[in-house]
Amino acid sequence: MRTVVWNDLSAEEQSQVLQRPVQMSAQSLEDNVRAIGDAIKKEGDTALIRFTEQFDKTLLTDVVLPQSAFTEAEQNLSDEFKKAIQNAYNNIYKFHEAQKPSPISIETQKGVLCEVLTRPIEKVGLYIPGGTAPLFSTVLMLAIPAKIAGCKRIVLASPPTIANEIIYAAKLCDIDTIYTIGGAQAVFALGLGTEKVEKVDKIFGPGNSYVTEAKRQVSQMMNGAAIDMPAGPSEVLVIADDNANPDFVASDLLSQAEHGTDSQVILVTTSQAMADKVNVSLDYWLNQLSRKDTAIESLKHSTTIIVNSLAEAVKVSNLYAPEHLIIQTDDARSLLNDIQHAGSVFLGQYSAESMGDYASGTNHVLPTYGYAKTVSSLGLADFSKRMTVQEISKDGLKDLGPVVSLLAEKELLDAHKLAVDIRLKAIQGD
């Protein structure tokens, strides 16, 4: 990893150091994805089958996974794996169940009752990427909160051939409909509906730049579906002091670098010696990785930043707003109050980022590309919506009605004023 000294850089150079890798040409990507969406709207399942053959090299006879595949998947997995995934399931369930909101009911003044109620999103679609790694953990992260929230219909889409681990995780979460489709075409199918694919109200899940762009487009279409969050490639920022374990730091950096060539990792440290030790560890552990070539490409646009103090390290982290923030310092929790922007924070030397990815209980679907400044990590609230209720008594109208009547009059909204005044006169008539 290249190393820079933060205070030797100009403001412009500091900004450049924290830039994410450049993605594919935005206009080209937008046009290509729009063409896929247009085809799905016009041709439905016919286009899905054609795109699956074109992009996934698979000729489908049906876009819906047969029920027999659920039984076969379970039979082909070891008891050890099933026990491990059950452990992860339990922790994720426990953490998200604790997020259930309580109803709010308050009398803002006598006779004026205001409430907040929560209702589940009725139909949700979960997208699980394909590729070389079967992301069964993402199935748990999406399906468990959907289940707890009470979503009535939960379906899943993933490109063929779908790994047994993904199918089993879906079964564990009581999902019985899986579509064997992937990419931008799967997003449009979920968001718009086809002959076989049921339209959903909201789409969840990560993906490549095509999937991300398709989510953006479908969310802006009339009658399209909402989406969970904007997202880009994986990223991590590690804050380390003199006493951090360089092997721990290196392994955390590599855990994100191996995700993809467009992933980015950043080390912010108060110690040049620590930076040197981490580079030695990176060289050593890279050679142990099956995805070494991917990690090397990621490290080419990754950086070590030397700062004067931990306070300055926190400042750099807040400017970057990382998806994952790992703090390996003597008193990691003491920095937490000053952390303003991060998708998920890992405190202390034993809190490996991998723990949150799989089984600690927190959700690993997180905002990237700086969206952590305004977007939260995925949680139970994302699978529901709030609605407010008000109930005004006769006494409440007597007291508050004249106030509302005057305010409506000042905004020149005569019908708003009338709706109150006519009730006030009716009360007086009583």
Q: Where are the beta strands (DSSP E) in 45-173?
A: 104-109, 112-120, 123-127, 153-157
pLDDT digits 0-9 by tens, 56-89: 999 999 999 999 999 999 999 999 999 999 999 9
Do residues 279 and 306 lie in contact, with contact meaning Cβ atoms separated by under 8 Å? no
- 232 with 259: CB under 8 angstroms? no
The answer to the question of whether 259 is labelled as a binding residue is: yes
Q: State yes or no: is 323 an active-site residue.
A: yes
pLDDT band at 23 (very low <50, low <70, confident <90, very high): low
210 annotated binding-site participant: no
**Whether residue 301 lies in the annotated active site:** no
From 323, 341, 353, 364, active-site residue: 323
Q: Mean pLDDT across the stretch 278-307?
A: 96
324 has binding-site annotation: yes
185 carries a ligand binding annotation: yes
Token pair recorded at residue 235: 């990223």
Distance, CA of 231 to CA of 210 (rounded, Å): 11
Please give the radius of gyration of the chain, using alpha carbons only, rounded to the nearest integer.
Answer: 26
Annotated binding residue 287: no
Pick the CATH number of 26-105+123-228 from 3.30.390.30, 3.40.50.300, 3.40.50.1980, 3.20.20.80: 3.40.50.1980
Report whether 96 belongs to an annotated binding site: no
- Say if residue 275 is exposed, middle or buried (CB neighbours under 10 Å; 0-12, 13-18, 19+): buried
DSSP states along 385-402: EEEEEEEE-HHHHHHHHH
Mean pLDDT of the chain: 96
What is the residue whose two structure tokens read 């290509």?
Answer: 32
**Per-residue pLDDT reduced to its tens digit, 408-430:** 999 999 999 999 999 999 999 87
The reply to whether 232-374 shares the fold of 26-105+123-228 is yes
Instruction: Say if residue 161 is preceded by a cis peptide, omega within 30 of 0.
Output: yes
Per annotation, catalytic residue among 324, 341, 353, 364 = 324
d(CA 140, CA 160): 19
Confidence bin at 24 (pLDDT 50/70/90): low
> By percentage, how much of the chain surpasses pLDDT 90?
93
Q: Where are the domains of the chain?
A: 26-105+123-228, 232-374, 393-429
β-partners of residue 235 are 264
- pLDDT, residue 429, reads 86
* Residue 234 labelled as part of a binding site: yes
Q: Is 411 annotated as a binding residue?
A: yes
In tens, the pLDDT along 91-117 reads 999 999 999 999 999 999 999 999 999
Compute how many other C-beta atoms are within 10 angstroms of the C-beta atom of residue 11: 7
Q: What is the DSSP string of 404-421?
A: HHHHHHHTT-HHHHHHHH
Q: 232-374 — its CATH code?
A: 3.40.50.1980
- Per DSSP bridges, beta strands 226-227 and 202-204 are parallel
Greatest pairwise CA separation for the chain in angstroms: 87
- pTM, to two decimals: 0.94
